[in-house]
Structure 1
């Protein structure tokens, strides 16, 4: 997919936002002392904040990361099976039906893996934030996507070298690999490269259609295996004895990186703001034209998150489901319990009602986000309104009631 200058500008801005928004080590405020624990909210409560931290860590976040690793491994297996059949078909040792079945199976497994990842996207803590989100970006670099770069790496991997050095996917830039690259490799039926005519990958135009398909599938296997490696790294950094999960659960104890349990709760609450900065703004407002996009200011299906798989609407749904899991504790102790304990039952009830309303609005759409943008953009605007109802309360009643701080990117944001 070729990017226009406007799209490139959007990507640059979006990437800058992502690196800033997800690196939440420094929280900001709407004025000196705003929600620093000294003003606003009920801090005189006996609510067990460590129980909340443990519940969200053990019942929500850890299972999500573990499920992602499991799905990522299934994804590698499915893509490997598809690629084996692509080679067999090229050598006339398998039939078209078998090839099609294994390709569809690989695509379905990508969707299953992406579903879990889109929930993990809203749980960006610890290892997913370290070093400007480097691990997160290796798994999924959106909105920094470079399909031309993927085409180049297909050829580099095929040749086995890059600039005279052995090909090593771990050294490649994030926008050339990860789940977004896999989407392009598995779902894009156009066998031409996506670069400009003058920047074609060396050797691409000399390949037959069959060779292009096998080359893409071979690189897809490599990308999928790299995702498994990075999923392993995420689990290790999260779950090991000195991992971030234990750091959260040891908040307020001697030697903890969190001086108080409330500091750790604040860090967990920061993750919820992904729904504001990225789900609401990047995934909905930009494509529907409420914010500037590559079409100017009108609805623009070119700017959806997952354009080849048409999975964009499901991505949004999974972001909201992850928000709900953190909010409710996924049948454990959640932020809603904390709100009720401090006397903000109305806020807890209204936020849950708004979550349900947004999910219902998504379920009622009978087609893809791209098609809805092209034919009924007002329906997407309604979803934006529904999600905004959630995030407006998140930025006001929620943080005020719990005496929490706004993350840096939400300070002063009245949208």
Structure 2
């Protein structure tokens, strides 16, 4: 059995459970002040809210991710061809540098699109315990040693005597997290403990290692694209989840009322609490236990090879803001205004904007800031907490919504 080097594995399992649970298909009752009628009983057009968020926020987010994933596949292929040309002595190193830079930029673009979609974990992204989501991006479960093994498995074309099939491999071996390692890690040594070294890796020349890694990166990128296509198809199909939301309250629909569908969409907002605030900020800060104990721990940040952690958090907030405000159409803030809670609508929107601005003012990576200026990251954490505290109280109370099951009574 493959040894798992990553000391964060246990903590990652916990966060992945929380991520899945907080966005699960069921909700539990909210705390004190919850409206037992389970609706606001106003004339607000909830179907118009559902339709705008579905058609003008969520669907474009998924489609943008697909477009970026398609572009990523092509640029990773281009990069790999440049590495192969060096191996065949038909290319120049400058072409490799140009190609890897383009592939890295495109990975960041693809990750930005995905991090916004992460705030819209609904329907197909939650089915089968979030399998499709995890195949695209398995964070917080990441395993670079397992990726090293699959580089060689893919090169030989088989695993344990069976043909290699990336669709059958566990999520921690593929997806956007694997590409973070394959495209940005310049260390050609494997990342496993010496006693569990991938067989044959040390016998390869440096250029053969680069080609082996980029070949697998091409396969990973193609798999991400295929999963993105599956997501869009399942979401937009005639019997897909988008139409289920927009047909809420009709006979045979899984949503008995329009308010039930509104509640399901609102569940997605809680990613900002369980994953962004707790996993991406509180854990590296040491507010929650990490592999360093209870101190700031730069090696526990998300996307550590690309140092893209703050950009990920930024795009989580952008996705949250689009759902909250409706991105130019009808949003949750309009619903809050309709029920007379102007202060929550204004404060939440302003807090999101202020937090986005605070992140944009950071001129270094999250890992560097944890070492050199942890107070700035603590402030960003506090800013996000202000948003999620209000999400778990005034927001759900005013709109007569139910908290996701694992958030009920959670006032951290």
Q: CA RMSD for the aligned pairs? A: 1.3
Q: Does 1:411 align with 2:408?
A: yes
Alignment of 1:215-294 (within 5 A): 215-294=212-291
Q: Does 1:193 align with 2:194?
A: no
Q: Is the 8 A contact 1:36 1:405 kept in 2?
A: no
Question: Can you list the C-alpha shifts for 1:313-335, whole angstroms capped at 9, x where unaligned?
Answer: 00000000000000110001000
Q: Counterparts of 2:16 and 2:327 in 1: how far apart (Å)?
A: 31
Distance 1:36 1:229, change over 3 A: farther
Q: Counterparts of 1:218 and 1:4 in 2: how far apart (Å)?
A: 24
Tell me the SS of whatever aligns to 2:49.
Answer: helix
Tell me the SS of whatever aligns to 2:385.
Answer: helix
- When normalised by structure 1's length, the TM-score is 0.96
Q: Is the 8 A contact 1:53 1:248 kept in 2?
A: yes
1:86 is matched with which residue: 58, 63, 83?
Answer: 83
Question: Can you list the C-alpha shifts for 1:24-82, whole angstroms capped at 9, x where unaligned?
Answer: 21212355x9736427xx72200000000000000000001001101000000000000
> What runs of 5+ residues in structure 2 fail to find an aligned partner?
none
Distance 1:292 1:228, change over 3 A: same
> What runs of 5+ residues in structure 1 fail to find an aligned partner?
none
Q: Does 1:13 align with 2:14?
A: yes
Q: Is the 8 A contact 2:30 2:402 kept in 1?
A: no
- Return the offset for 1:94: 1.2
Q: Counterparts of 2:76 and 2:300 in 1: how far apart (Å)?
A: 27
Q: Is the 8 A contact 1:66 1:235 kept in 2?
A: yes
- Return the offset for 1:231: 0.6
Q: Does 1:35 align with 2:40?
A: no
Q: Counterparts of 1:35 and 1:84 in 2: how far apart (Å)?
A: 59
User: Which residue is 1:331 aligned to?
Assistant: 328
User: Which residue is 1:373 aligned to?
Assistant: 370
User: Which residue is 1:131 aligned to?
Assistant: 128
Q: Is the 8 A contact 2:33 2:397 kept in 1?
A: no
Tell me the SS of whatever aligns to 1:93.
Answer: coil
Which moved further from structure 2: 196-205 or 237-246?
196-205
- When normalised by structure 2's length, the TM-score is 0.97
User: Which residue is 2:25 aligned to?
Assistant: 25
Q: Is the 8 A contact 2:12 2:140 kept in 1?
A: yes
Q: Counterparts of 1:405 and 1:36 in 2: how far apart (Å)?
A: 9
Q: Counterparts of 1:3 and 1:299 in 2: how far apart (Å)?
A: 21
Q: Counterparts of 1:343 and 1:266 in 2: how far apart (Å)?
A: 19
Tell me the SS of whatever aligns to 1:216.
Answer: helix
Q: Is the 8 A contact 1:37 1:404 kept in 2?
A: no
Q: Does 1:175 align with 2:172?
A: yes
Question: Can you list the C-alpha shifts for 1:191-249, whole angstroms capped at 9, x where unaligned?
Answer: 11111111111111111111110000000000000011101110111000000000000
- Return the offset for 1:289: 1.1
Tell me the SS of whatever aligns to 1:414.
Answer: coil
Q: Is the 8 A contact 1:30 1:412 kept in 2?
A: yes
Q: Counterparts of 1:176 and 1:224 in 2: how far apart (Å)?
A: 12
Q: Does 1:152 align with 2:149?
A: yes
Q: Is the 8 A contact 1:276 1:388 kept in 2?
A: yes
